[in-house]
Structure formats: structure tokens, C-alpha cells
Chains A and B, each alone.
Chain A
Amino acid sequence: MAYEIVVLTNMAIAVLFALSLNVITGFCGQVSLGHAAFLGIGAYTSAMLSKEGVPLIITFIPAMGMAALIGLIVGVASLRVRHDFLAITTMGVVFLFTGIVRKQEILGGEIGIAGIPAPDFGRVGLFATSLLCVLAYLLLTIWIRRSWTGFAFDSIAEDEDTARLLGINVPKFKLFAFVVGTAGAGLAGALYAHQVRFIGPDSFGFVESISVLAMVIVGGIGSIWGVILAAAFLSALPQFFQVIDDYKLLVYGLLLFGAMRFAPEGIDGLLKKIVRRRAVK
């Protein structure tokens, strides 16, 4: 039972993390190769505070706030770059994050932060909390998708220049996507820190950024349900097959390549194709 709860909690956190990247990359079309940095910012913020005795639930707010603040700064800095250059800029963010954290005594340096207190409500409670967080963020995401903002995101993802010519304030929407997305990652980080109860700079590096991008792309860029499915499945895999854990970068890299080459619309696109074929028959 205890083991299943751990696996399920990890899945929920991965789903939340992937949904948060989906807002930036899926909805708004801004590829980020550094999303794990914001998971890390949330995790470190929450861990430090709860070691000082602040209850976990309360740490959610500064964890999200800190991630969103840095997210906003990165967003402003990336407004001028697009496509490949955006990918490189965001990749820089994750290296910068791990680089800085490694050198900070108060953040535990190379070793990281150990002995993060277990939440009062126990493992099942943490799972329930994670599930609630996923649900809340999911509803927010669905609401954004269906609102005007969702259409504006779509238009920016498809053709930024035309969107501007139609009166859409592109920078404003990009920053909004960055803030919502990085805040979600911060929340996932807070949960993650209390799930594993030990965090270090290596938990939030380039590999983790690639893994979460793989979840979004395999799920189908922008598709909420596809991303949930892919995140749940891909996060559970390494827990059952040790090999995958050892070759994470290779496995996720191959997945990314395979998805882009053979199924650019991800699971969502594949399912829709199958349904359509059935319907034709």
C-alpha cells in the first residue's frame, strides 16, 4: 500500500509539472528547455520554509510566487527571442539555476537539503493534497483554454506576427503564460520536496527539463488530456524499470525524437486519428 501511494503521488506531481509546461509550450507555443529550474525554485523555497516550521500548505504560496517571479523575469528576457533561440535561452536558465544553487551555502550547495519534515497529514494526506493541486490547476488550465485568452494563445502559437497585426498584445500574453506555467511548476516543486524529503541541484537539471518536455510533446502539444496521460505513464515507467531510470536522457530523447518524427500531434493526435477512422468505417 505504502509503495503504491508513493508511485501515485509521484505521478500526480509529474502530471502537475507537465500541465504547467503545457501552458507555456502547448498553449502559447513557447518551447522551454529549462522548466525544471522552476520546479527547483518551488522545491527549495518550500523546503527552506518548512524546515523553519512553516506548514507545507502555507509554503505553497511563496513557492509559487518565487517561481512565478523568476518566471516573469525569464519571460521578459525571452520576449525578443523566438524558436531555436528561445530554446537555447531557456536551456541556459536551467544551467544557471543548478550552477547558482551549487555555490550557495544556505541552499546546501552540492549536497542539497536533507531532512525536509514530513507533512503532518502523512503519506496518504500528501497524495490527497497533490491530487487536489492537480485538480485545481487542471480546472485553471481548462478555463484558460476555453476563454478568450485561450484563443489568443492559439493565435500566438500559430502565427505571432499575424496575431500582433490583429491587435493582440503578444508580449502580455506570453508573460501571462510564463507566470501561470512557472507558478504551476513551483507548486509541483513544493509537493516534490515533501514527497522525496531530500533535494539537491541534480534533481532539477537539464534531464528533468527534457523529461517534462517529452511528456508534453508525447501527449500532444496543447492537449490537456494527452499530456495528463503521457505524464502519468512516463513518470511511472522508471519506477518499474530500473534500466529506464539509468538511461533517462536517452529514453526521453528517443521519445521526443520519435514523437516529433512519427506523431507530431502526440497521443492526442493518434487517438483522434483512430477515432476518425472508426467513424469512417
Chain B
Amino acid sequence: MTVIRDINFGLEEGGTLALVGSNGAGKTTLLMSLAGHIIPKSGQVRLNGVDLVDKGPETRCGLGVGLVPEGRRVFPDLSVFENLVVGGYSRPSNNQSGSMARVFEVFPRLFDRKNQVAGSLSGGEQQMLAFGRAIMSNPNLLLVDELSLGLMPSVVDECYKALEKLVKKGIAVILVDQNSDAATNFCSSTLILETGDQVWLGESSALSEESTH
């Protein structure tokens, strides 16, 4: 069954793209096909010139695709520390402590809860952990699905601030957020999906002008 079709976009280093569309438009499907969980029937996915289409998710992770999945999906019985270790698996082990220090620098709250099992973290802390876990693999491209789902506004702000830090470091971000205003404000470009079709792609600023007219 075809869920998404005819989607075409590119992203520069440190570029940000908001994926916008109603429920069931295919946002998660698009992210998952970038991450390699879903294999597209046709088409290309390229990262720094490397074709990813025939590569499994574990290989793509090693090549620089990081994912913060919808619903966070942290490993509930593992501690914060262990979740991060698993996140850094695609990197050589001697890089681990450095990557972990970076995560704790962005999310000091995770450091305080290093030995707590992830299942007992609050929703916001779990989202931070999901971010941290993705950063551990040192991605060039970070895919974020449903950033603010079920989170308090203050935590959402914190996550966006962390995301900003990552973008400054040159990581490209593709972002899905049910609060589409927040996503388009954050991202320089926006892609609108409607039942699997790409109906609009351009600068986010142009989008706001269009809607005010």
C-alpha cells in the first residue's frame, strides 16, 4: 500500500525542515523511510552523497542519521546511563564518554538522574533522554517526530532550546510537531504533506505571509 509519494527535498548542513500535515498525512512514514525502518518502493535517499536506500537502519545510524521517535520509546527498564550507552552503540567505545558529556551539557537534568530507570522518568525527561540517546550517535541529520506530544510548555521550550544548540553545531534537523506553528517558527523551511502528497515546500517565512494574505 502506498502511503507517501512524489516527495522531493534537500537540506543543507545545519538546515532545518518542518514537516507539517494533518493526522495520517504520512509524516511518521516519511521519517521512518529516512531512518530505514520502512523501505520505499522507489526513490532515493542520499546523505552527503551516499545512497541510503539499500541500507538498513543500523547502517544509516552509523552514517549519521539520528532519530527521536514518536512516543519517545526509551528503554523503560534500562537506566538513563544505559539508554545513552545503547544510543552510542554505532560509535567506537572510546568516544562514549565525550558524547555523554555533551549530552549532559545540553540536558543537565539527565545527569542528575543518571542511574534512574528510564521508565520512572517524567514525560519531559523521557523526551530529553530520547534526544540524548539520538545525539550519542553523533548524527549529521536528526529526525524528530512529535516533539511536544504530551509535554508541558516549559519542557517544550527546553527541548527547542536544546535543538537550537544542536543546529548551531551544524546538525540538520527534520522536525514534526503537532504544534505546527512552533515547528515552522523554528525551522527555516517547511514541507506540507497532505494524504501522502507533497503540496508545498519553501521558506517558512513565505508560509506565514501566504497565510496572512
Q: Which residue in chain B gives the minimum CB-CB distance to A164?
A: B57
Question: Which residues on the B side are within 8 Å of A164 (C-beta)?
Answer: 37, 56-58
Asked whether A154 is an interface residue with its Cβ less than 8 Å from the other chain, the reply is: yes
Roughly how many angstroms separate A158 CA and B36 CA in the complex, as a whole number?
A: 20
Known contacts A164-B37, A166-B87, A166-B89; decide if A151 and B61 are in contact (CB<8 Å).
no
**Min CB–CB distance A46 → chain B (angstroms):** 37
Interface membership of chain B positions 80-107, coded 1 if the CB is closer than 8 angstroms to chain A and 0 otherwise: 0010011101100100000000000000
Roughly how many angstroms separate A163 CA and B57 CA in the complex, as a whole number?
A: 9
Are the CB atoms of B57 and A154 closer together than 8 Å? no
Question: Which residues on the B side are within 8 Å of A167 (C-beta)?
Answer: 57-58, 61-62, 89-90, 137
Report how many residues on chain A are interfacial, defined by Cβ distance under 8 Å: 17
Are the CB atoms of A148 and B57 closer together than 8 Å? no
Known contacts A164-B56, A164-B58; decide if A151 and B78 are in contact (CB<8 Å).
yes
Question: Which residues on the B side are within 8 Å of A155 (C-beta)?
Answer: 75, 78, 86
Are the CB atoms of A165 and B61 closer together than 8 Å? yes
Chain A interface, DSSP helix/strand/loop, else mixed: helix
Question: Which residues on the B side are within 8 Å of A163 (C-beta)?
Answer: 86
* Chain B CB within 10 A, most for which of A152, A154, A164, A165: A165
Q: Which residue in chain B gives the minimum CB-CB distance to A172?
A: B58
Are the CB atoms of A165 and B36 closer together than 8 Å? yes
Roughly how many angstroms separate A166 CA and B73 CA in the complex, as a whole number?
A: 11
Roughly how many angstroms separate A115 CA and B57 CA in the complex, as a whole number?
A: 54
**Min CB–CB distance B201 → chain A (angstroms):** 26
Known contacts A148-B85, A164-B58, A165-B35; decide if A154 and B133 are in contact (CB<8 Å).
no
Are the CB atoms of A159 and B73 closer together than 8 Å? yes
Roughly how many angstroms separate A117 CA and B15 CA in the complex, as a whole number?
A: 73
Q: Which residue in chain A gives the minimum CB-CB distance to B84?
A: A151
Q: Which residue in chain A gives the minimum CB-CB distance to B96?
A: A148
Q: Which residue in chain B gives the minimum CB-CB distance to A155?
A: B86
Asked whether A162 is an interface residue with its Cβ less than 8 Å from the other chain, the reply is: yes
Known contacts A159-B75, A164-B56; decide if A151 and B85 are in contact (CB<8 Å).
yes
Asked whether B40 is an interface residue with its Cβ less than 8 Å from the other chain, the reply is: no
Roughly how many angstroms separate A223 CA and B58 CA in the complex, as a whole number?
A: 28
Asked whether A63 is an interface residue with its Cβ less than 8 Å from the other chain, the reply is: no
Asked whether A245 is an interface residue with its Cβ less than 8 Å from the other chain, the reply is: no
Roughly how many angstroms separate A155 CA and B69 CA in the complex, as a whole number?
A: 15
Question: Which residues on the A side are within 8 Å of B35 (C-beta)?
Answer: 165
Are the CB atoms of A162 and B69 closer together than 8 Å? yes
Q: Which residue in chain B gives the minimum CB-CB distance to A222?
A: B77
Are the CB atoms of B36 and A152 closer together than 8 Å? no
* Chain A CB within 10 A, most for which of B61, B67, B69, B89: B89
Roughly how many angstroms separate A186 CA and B127 CA in the complex, as a whole number?
A: 44
List 7 additional A-B contacts (Cβ < 8 Å) besides A154-B78, A167-B89, A168-B86.
A148-B89, A154-B77, A155-B75, A159-B73, A161-B37, A166-B87, A168-B89
Residues of A that sit less than 8 Å from B by CB: 148, 151-152, 154-155, 158-159, 161-170
